[in-house]
């Protein structure tokens, strides 16, 4: 029987993280998993109730009663990957193919003079921009990003209607559209409307993943699948990508640095095993929060993670000194 412990944390965002959040501190819990054979690994449980996840307190309460939620199941799965590497004394950076990450812009207001020049010097090539607050201002941001020569991933978090999205996209110039790699969750999932949107631009599926009737679907009304290991069965997602001829990107869940590193481990493994299927990753979302003792230890070189202190996902000394509460 495995032993489970948790440590609750709070992350302080710099700004509203997307069109469905209010920019308030976000709560989550690090999960310590101990297996009978002496393996110990760590995962991150960071629910987004705004996107339909069960509240943190409810998930922890369920676990104390012996019930494992789907999100907790993924947390334990990621912790096992961490534990296996720790036993070998290796880090995730030694266990897969090196991956490039996009740069996340949570709010168009972040794009101040000199900002894009700085990203260019850091050798980022792709910007993911959270959309849906002010489409006119965001259209101006798209113009500036395109002029600077960055590929774009526009994430609407289903904030638009089909009509407002079509109006927004039609207002962009051909020179701007060519820089858009894909549009993520443009409006609430509807197969017919998404198929129409797919005629305008490549569409990526994220939050509506569980609303898709995968067994009955013949042709996908989207081109790319956003794989979030924090809440999604990765092997099943990859099989669906193969079946429907989709590309995929692995991203973290705008969660704790432990979560970011867990997602990176999966991104590297997928890149190594399915090089023609995988697009650049999005595992640097921890930068959306004020620095803490965890994020302060992460080393990056532009769009790449360059080194990790410790073993597995890292943070050995910090994790050792945390106060852990038993779950079972």
Q: What is the pLDDT of residues 58-101, one digit of tens each?
A: 999 998 898 999 999 999 999 999 999 999 999 999 877 899 99
Q: How many angstroms separate the CA atoms of 247 and 235, rounded?
A: 14
Positions of CATH 3.30.390.10 in the chain: 3-89+316-326
pTM for the structure as a whole: 0.94
Largest CA distance in the chain: 60
Q: What is the pLDDT of residues 134-189, one digit of tens each?
A: 999 999 999 999 999 999 999 999 999 999 999 999 999 999 999 999 999 999 99
- Thinking of the domain 103-307, which architecture would CATH place it in? Alpha-Beta Barrel (3.20)
Residue 94 confidence (pLDDT): 86
Closest CA to 182 of 255, 148, 131, 136: 131
**Which residues are catalytically annotated?**
130, 228
Pairing of strands 3-11, 325-326: antiparallel
Average pLDDT, the chain: 94
Positions of CATH 3.20.20.120 in the chain: 103-307
Residue 147 confidence (pLDDT): 97
Residue 204 confidence (pLDDT): 98
Q: Write the DSSP assignment of 253-277 as a string of letters.
A: -S--HHHHHHHHHHHHHHHHH-TTT
Plot region of 17 (φ>0 → left; ψ -120 to 50 → alpha; else → beta):
alpha
- Thinking of the domain 3-89+316-326, which architecture would CATH place it in? 2-Layer Sandwich (3.30)
Give the residues across from 40 on adjacent strands. Answer: 34
Q: Write the DSSP assignment of 159-194 as a string of letters.
A: -S-HHHHHHHHHTS-HHHHTTEEEEE--SS--HHHH
Residue 116 confidence (pLDDT): 97
Q: What is the pLDDT of residues 272-323, one digit of tens each?
A: 999 999 999 999 999 999 999 999 999 999 999 998 889 999 999 999 999 9
Residue 259 confidence (pLDDT): 98
54, 267 in Cβ contact below 8 A?
no
């Amino acid at each position: 029987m495995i032993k489970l412990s948790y440590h609750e944390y709070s992350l302080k965002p710099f700004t509203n993280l997307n069109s469905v959040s209010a920019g308030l501190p976000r709560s989550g819990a690090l999960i310590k998993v101990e297996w009978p054979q002496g393996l110990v690994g760590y995962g991150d449980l960071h629910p987004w109730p705004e996107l339909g996840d069960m509240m943190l307190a409810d998930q922890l309460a369920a676990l104390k009663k012996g019930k494992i939620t789907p999100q907790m199941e993924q947390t334990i799965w990621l912790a096992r990957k961490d534990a296996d590497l720790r036993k070998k004394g290796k880090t995730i950076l030694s266990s897969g193919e090196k991956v490039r990450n996009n740069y996340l812009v949570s709010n168009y207001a972040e794009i101040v003079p000199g900002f894009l020049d700085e990203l260019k010097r850091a050798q980022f090539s792709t910007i993911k921009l959270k959309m849906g607050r002010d489409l006119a201002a965001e259209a101006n941001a798209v113009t500036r990003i395109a002029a600077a020569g960055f590929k774009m991933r526009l994430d609407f978090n289903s904030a638009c209607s089909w009509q407002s999205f079509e109006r927004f996209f039609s207002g962009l110039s051909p020179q701007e559209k060519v820089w858009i790699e894909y549009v993520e969750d443009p409006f609430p999932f509807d197969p017919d409307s998404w198929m129409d949107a797919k005629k305008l631009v490549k569409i990526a599926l994220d939050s509506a993943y569980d609303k898709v009737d995968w067994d009955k679907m013949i042709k996908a009304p989207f081109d790319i699948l956003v794989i979030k290991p924090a809440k999604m069965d990765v092997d099943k997602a990859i099989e669906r990508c193969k079946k429907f001829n989709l590309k995929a990107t692995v991203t973290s869940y705008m969660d704790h640095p432990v979560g970011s590193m867990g997602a990176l481990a999966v991104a590297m493994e997928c890149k190594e095993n399915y090089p023609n299927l995988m697009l650049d990753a999005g595992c640097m979302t921890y930068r959306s929060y004020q620095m803490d003792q965890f994020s302060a230890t992460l080393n990056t070189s532009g769009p790449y993670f360059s080194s990790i202190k410790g073993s597995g996902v890292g943070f050995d000394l910090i994790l050792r000194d945390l106060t852990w509460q038993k779950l079972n």
